[in-house]
Copies of this chain bind each other. A is one copy, B any other.
Amino acid sequence: MTVSNNPLWLYDTILRDGAQREGISLSLTDKLTIARRLDQLGIPFIEGGWPGANPKDVQFFWQLQEEPLEQAEIVAFCSTRRPHKAVETDKMLQAILSAGTRWVTIFGKSWDLHVLEGLQTSLAENLAMISDTIAYLRSQGRRVIYDAEHWFDGYRANPDYALATLATAQQAGAEWLVMCDTNGGTLPGQISEITIKVLQGLGLDGRSEHQPQLGIHAHNDSGTAVANSLLAVEAGATMVQGTINGYGERCGNANLCTLIPNLQLKLDYDCIKPEQLAHLTSTSRLISEMVNLAPDDHAPFVGRSAFAHKGGIHVSAVQRNPFTYEHIAPDVVGNERRIVVSEQAGLSNVLSKAELFGIALDRQDPACRAILETLKDLEQQGYQFEAAEASFELLMRQAMGDRQPLFLVQGFQVHCDLLTPAENPAYRNALATVKVTVNGQNILEVAEGNGPVSALDQALRKALTRFYPQIADFHLTDYKVRILDGGAGTSAKTRVLVESSNGDRRWTTVGVSGNILEASYQAVVEGIEYGLRLLTCGLTNQEVIST
């Protein structure tokens, strides 16, 4: 990548700082997949890891030397050299060189307290560590980004010393000086002022190609990481460090999924191409799947609810003129408008849902009231259709007499034996019997599995496949369980959401019962019914799988 006349550079650190979030643990393959996806999204700098501190990261960089990214610069991360040691013999610096990247990010201390207490060295030695490290890496042909750790705390405690650390990094050849709010405690009111003072203090205009420029790396402990980043950019910073979905230690890093649309759509910075921006939502969701964390439905721009309308007034207004209740058009970031079905829903919500499902439903139609009533009843039993639109569509079609049964479930039995020792490797601990009626014929089937839900699913498929062979293509892609009344202990009601897929589309169904297996069975049964109707009746509203 050449540093072009694009005025703003994005820098993702999910693979290093983001992975510090509780619950995230990335394999080598995960890291490579994420890096390639970020490259496709158009992120120019991707921090890959800290090869000196984490031997697993060494392999990651080697792999990328074999098969480089298409556009992005992959960046290796490292601290300044150790106090009173030579750079040439510092193992961490040797590791960063062997990562073979063009760019490296070096972090150093800005806060006198951290130098004296943390490093237990002198303020002068810290400046020498910054200078030596950057100069050495420059002499080895690397381009350097300097991350000034605890910048804002350091600047507040001792502005002269903090500025001296940046001036040292500048003189040693760093091309970006990044102000890191490591503890995340800085409020937006201080950001512009400090950014402007830093530019003045270092004699920078913030834009010249031949001068170092400023960057911002914000953490979200005060809930203002995005705002702080925006304000630093407006005051003259040209690099924004953050992570997809805001993953990071404690309360996270600045969320690039929020920053990118704000910068690009509202502040007119040229960050990524419009066609890349349209993949922002799918990138956010893919990465949340890869790190195995539930996506934040309420995340700005990319959340499932970011353009969801629930209140009656909003729903009718947004249909007349979306601009009146939406700050941007959802498709620009690859998201979509949703009309939410809930107990509080008025008729207009039900009607617009019907329209989405391609169901002709009139406001005067008594079925409309019937649907609202059923909805209310079921929600009081613990059903929730906000996340189970396939079940809601079936409910709607039923109210309208448009749900001829494809099969009838008569019940099931399950037996699990974890008492008898399993000597035979083929032993399955669960056995399920299901009874279904298809075309007037009673079918009794039995199957085994390594768990009761799996055995039930197998038995049901066995019973139905002879009538509906297409079931073989369906599979369950997600399965969620929620206890509705925790206080009731293990006899609490359970709500199960099952996401099914046929490879092209996916849909979600719901089941509720005091018996977790019954709730699961309900949801699995509706999932199969919906999948069959999708093929035979041309239901086409459910999400197309894009990843």
Contact = CB atoms under 8 A, between A and B. Distances in A.
A416 B307 contact: no
Interface stretch (A29-37, A66-74, A228-236): A228-236
A490 B255 CA distance: 33
Interface in A126-174: 150
A65 interface: no
A518 interface: yes
A476 to B, nearest CB: 4
A255 B223 contact: yes
Contacts of A118: 317, 320, 324
Interface stretch (A4-12, A396-404, A445-453): A445-453
A95 interface: no
A117 interface: yes
A514 interface: yes
A324 B189 contact: no
A437 interface: no
Contacts of A20: 310-311
A419 B429 contact: no
B298 A251 contact: yes
Interface string A331-366: 000000000101110000000000000000000000
A258 B185 CA distance: 12
Interface stretch (A194-202, A270-278, A477-485): A477-485
Interface in A85-102: none
Contacts of A305: 21-22, 250-251
A449 B450 CA distance: 22
Contacts of A480: 481-483
B262 A223 contact: yes
B451 A513 contact: yes
A204 interface: no
A16 to B, nearest CB: 10
B518 A429 contact: yes
Contacts of A415: 413-416
A451 B515 contact: yes
B484 A292 contact: yes
A246 to B, nearest CB: 8
Contacts of A413: 415-419
A520 B516 CA distance: 11
A411 B419 contact: yes
A457 B413 CA distance: 20
Interface in A175-201: 182-185, 187-189
Contact of A222 (B323, B327, B524): B327
Interface of A: 20-23, 25, 111, 113-114, 117-118, 150, 182-185, 187-189, 220-224, 226-228, 230-231, 234, 249-252, 255, 258-259, 262, 266-267, 289, 292, 297-301, 303, 305-311, 314, 317, 320-321, 323-328, 340, 342-344, 379, 384, 386, 410-420, 429-430, 433, 435, 449-454, 456-458, 475-484, 486-487, 489-492, 494, 499, 513-518, 520-521, 524
21 contacts: A25-B342, A113-B323, A187-B267, A222-B327, A223-B299, A249-B308, A249-B311, A250-B298, A250-B303, A251-B306, A412-B419, A413-B416, A414-B414, A414-B452, A419-B433, A449-B491, A451-B514, A451-B516, A452-B452, A476-B489, A490-B524
Given A22-B297, A250-B298, A413-B416, 17 more contacts: A111-B324, A117-B324, A188-B227, A188-B231, A220-B298, A222-B300, A223-B259, A227-B227, A227-B228, A415-B416, A418-B517, A450-B514, A451-B514, A452-B516, A454-B491, A456-B490, A458-B490
